[in-house]
Every structure is written in structure tokens, then in C-alpha cells.
Amino acid sequence: MAELVATLASTHHPFYLRATTAPPEQQMPQAPEWKRKVEAYRETLTKAKPDILVMIGSDHFHQIFLDNCPQFLIGKAERYDATFWNEEREFGIPKYVLEGDVEMSRFMHRDLMDQGFDLAFSNELKIDHSIICPIITVRPDNDLPVVPIYTNIFAPPLPSPRRFYDLGRAIRKAIDAFPSGKRVAAIGTGHLSLELGGPRQFMETGPDPVFDRQALEWFRTGDIDAILDSVTHETMARSGNATHGFLNFILMMGVAGPQPADYVDFLDLFHTMEAYVTWYPRHGAEEQAA
């Protein structure tokens, strides 16, 4: 069977590449520290030596629109074109082609359905920066096949935080059941408190620093019960109009299982807090979660 070797959850700031590769005199003051933190975080994946990446992100209305918006979707293609024209123009993200793992995608699709998650699927999925950003930050060689899974964090009605956590548990079970000796890393991106286009967009911190610090503590302690008891769609909206990206962090805690994170780091930028979190499997964690 396949082995989950690491679970990573991070934010996906689209300006990272441009901010850290511009000439030094043009870089923002935080750029050197940002680069150091990302490169340190990258090592948490490198040392796990994965063979396949299961990647969780959310389409920013690039390919999925309000006329047909699945709550959860899995890609089943041999390869995935990535980066949309506005991401090239606005963020300086180059085009990518990611190799897929069709066998694992097909297996996970069926296994997740058997567990009660009827995911939509696409054989022609194009990837945006929610998945390309972690390729840039933690796997810049882009040398591993991927299984992409998209979640709806933008278009209400959204699934509940509990549903995101349960999907994470189901993804973990599907990875564990995949008939292969491959080493699998799961990587998901979302947000802490975030405001897009609203009055709190350009603050010196994220719109809700109290929530951001509490979220980091939840990751450090693995306290999923506290999250599910206190985080709702309404509380996330009060923390910022795009804070629902936190649902993907909840999903990744489901993949990792009920355990404290092994690595937690952060960086305050002018309008958001960047978060970098990694869990490694612990013996007995799965039994506790069963």
C-alpha cells in the first residue's frame, strides 16, 4: 500500500516569485526573510522523499464558474496545463505543465465515492495558482506527478468545516489504500484571515490578527475539536471576506490526523499572514482517529 510521508498546509501568495526574484533594489523589505522562510519550509517536504503529490487547492474562477460549480473535484488527466493569462500578467507566474498520475486519480475517485464523497472529476483540468504556488515554493523542480483536488471556498453555499475535515480523513484513507509502494505527500493551500477588495484589504497585517494567532496555536496543538467548535462560515466572514480559505487548512488537518504539527512558521506581510505547516505521520495516530 502507499505510504503518506508528509502533510503540508500553507497559504498561496501569488506574488512570492516576483517579490523574491526582482532585482534587490526593487524588492519589498520583507523579501529576503520571506525567501528564507520558504526555503526552510521546503526542506520539510524534501526530507520526506515523496514520489507523488496529492495537491488540494481552489480555483479562483479561472475554470470553474457559477454556471457549474462543484463542491469538490478531482483531476484525472495525464498532464495539467497551468497558469492563466491574468496570473502571468498580474503576478509574473510562468506557465507550467504538471504530470498527472492517472492510476492514483482513478483509484482515489472511486475510493472517495465508496466513502460517501461523490466528487466531480475532470480529464481536462487546468491548474491555477492555488496549486502552482506550492509547486514554486516547495517543489520548484516540478519533478513529481500530481493528483489535484479542488474545493469550493468561494461560491456559497459552502460545505461545513466538519465536511472539509471529514473529506481530509477520507483522502487519507484513500491514500493509505492505494495499491502501490509509492511515498505520497499531501499539500494543500488556503488562507488565514484575508480581505479581498474590501475595506480591510490593505492593512499592515491580516484583517484579523487574533484569529491568525489562534489558528497557529490550533496547528501547534492539533486541536481540531476547538476549530470545529468555534469556526463557522459566519465567524470566518467576520475575520475577512476571503477567510473561508481556512477550510482547506481544516481539510489538511483531516489528512494529517489528530496530532500536533511538527513544523509551524509564519510571516506577517502588509495585508496577510503567511503560514507554513507540516505534519509527519506518527505511529498510532490513525488508530486514534478510527
User: What integer pLDDT is reported at residue 182 of this predicted model?
Assistant: 97
Confidence of residue 289 (pLDDT cuts 50, 70, 90): very low
pLDDT per residue as tens digits for the range 74-99 = 999 999 999 999 999 999 999 999 99
User: What integer pLDDT is reported at residue 204 of this predicted model?
Assistant: 81
Which amino acid appears at position 127 of this protein?
Answer: I
User: What integer pLDDT is reported at residue 167 of this predicted model?
Assistant: 98
Rounded to whole angstroms, how far apart are CA atoms 240 and 207? 6
pLDDT per residue as tens digits for the range 248-277 = 999 999 999 999 999 999 999 988 999 999
pLDDT per residue as tens digits for the range 157-182 = 999 999 999 999 999 999 999 999 99
Q: Could you tell me what percent of the chain has a pLDDT over 90?
A: 92
DSSP state of 69: -
Rounded average pLDDT over 45-67: 96
User: What integer pLDDT is reported at residue 284 of this predicted model?
Assistant: 54
User: What integer pLDDT is reported at residue 200 of this predicted model?
Assistant: 86
* Grid cell for residue 216: 497557529
CA 204 to chain centre: 24
pLDDT over 50 at 290, yes or no:
no
Rounded average pLDDT over 209-229: 98
Rounded to whole angstroms, how far apart are CA atoms 51 and 182? 6
Hunting for cell 472511486 — which residue is that? Answer: 110
What is the average pLDDT value for the chain, to the nearest integer?
95
User: What integer pLDDT is reported at residue 288 of this predicted model?
Assistant: 42
Q: Could you tell me what percent of the chain has a pLDDT over 70?
A: 97
pLDDT over 80 at 283, yes or no:
no
User: What integer pLDDT is reported at residue 248 of this predicted model?
Assistant: 98
Confidence of residue 121 (pLDDT cuts 50, 70, 90): very high
pLDDT over 90 at 58, yes or no:
yes
Q: Per-residue DSSP letters for 40-59?
A: HHHHHHHTT--SEEEEEE--
Long-range contacts of 137-141 (CB under 8 A, 24+ apart): 137/10, 137/16, 137/38, 137/41, 137/42, 138/8, 138/10, 138/38, 138/41, 138/42, 138/44, 138/45, 138/187, 139/42, 139/45, 139/53, 140/42
In a 10 Å sphere around its CB, with 0-12 CB exposed, 13-18 middle and 19+ buried, how is residue 133 labelled? buried
CA separation, residue 100 to residues 4, 69, 78 (Å): 18, 22, 5
* Grid cell for residue 130: 492555488
User: What integer pLDDT is reported at residue 285 of this predicted model?
Assistant: 45
